[in-house]
């Protein structure tokens, strides 16, 4: 996949090797398993998204962002109180923002899907009709190494 004209650089961090391989195929420049490579992640991102909803990854946001960068909290952490290094937030002059329910992202996401900027086919690994919704949720929980995204559709 060619590098975008804006010079952006994509890094993916995940514990599941299959997801990392998918990210690489979709254009990630670097992939990391966090428990093994935390030092390599320091000051990597102009924009860092936390999407796992994990306390440990939330605590690393400010470490992973470059000075002057932005940290975006998408995933809901396991608890409301998460220890973070506020000194890094201030020293690096970071912007920290939260996203809740993607209320202002749908129009852009749909446009990017339509124009091919987002290629969803590889990310959607399983589809279940609404009549089998419980099976879809059970599948995703039982098979994390085989699941990127499960779609529930109206049948």
The domain defined by 11-98 folds into Rossmann fold (3.40.50)
Which ranges in the chain are annotated with CATH 3.40.50.720? 11-98
Residue 144, pLDDT score: 86
In this prediction, residues 23-37 reach a mean pLDDT of: 81
Alpha-carbon distances, residue 154 vs 130, 131, 148 (angstroms): 5, 8, 20
Confidence of residue 7 (pLDDT cuts 50, 70, 90): low
Residue pLDDT, tens place only, 31-47: 888 776 667 778 888 88
In this prediction, residues 138-151 reach a mean pLDDT of: 91
H or E stretch at 135: helix 133-142
pTM of the model: 0.74
List 153's β-bridge partners, or say none. 129
Q: Which of 9-13, 85-89, 116-120, 134-138 has the lowest mean pLDDT?
A: 9-13
Return the SS3 of 72. Answer: strand
Closest CA to 152 of 125, 121, 132, 105: 132
């Amino acid at each position: 996949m060619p590098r975008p004209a804006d010079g952006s650089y994509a890094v993916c961090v995940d514990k599941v090797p299959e997801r990392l391989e998918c990210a690489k195929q979709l254009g990630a420049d670097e992939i990391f398993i966090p428990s093994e490579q935390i030092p390599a992640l320091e000051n990597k991102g102009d924009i860092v998204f936390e999407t796992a909803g994990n306390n440990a990854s939330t605590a690393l946001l400010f470490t992973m962002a470059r000075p002057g960068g932005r940290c975006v909290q998408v995933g809901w952490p396991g608890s409301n109180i998460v220890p973070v290094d506020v000194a890094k937030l201030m020293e690096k002059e970071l912007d920290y923002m939260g996203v809740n329910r993607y209320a202002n992202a749908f129009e852009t996401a749909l446009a990017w899907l339509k124009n091919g900027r987002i290629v969803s086919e590889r990310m959607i690994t399983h589809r279940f009709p609404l009549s089998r919704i419980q099976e879809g949720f059970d599948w995703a929980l039982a098979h994390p190494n085989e699941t990127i995204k499960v779609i529930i559709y109206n049948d």
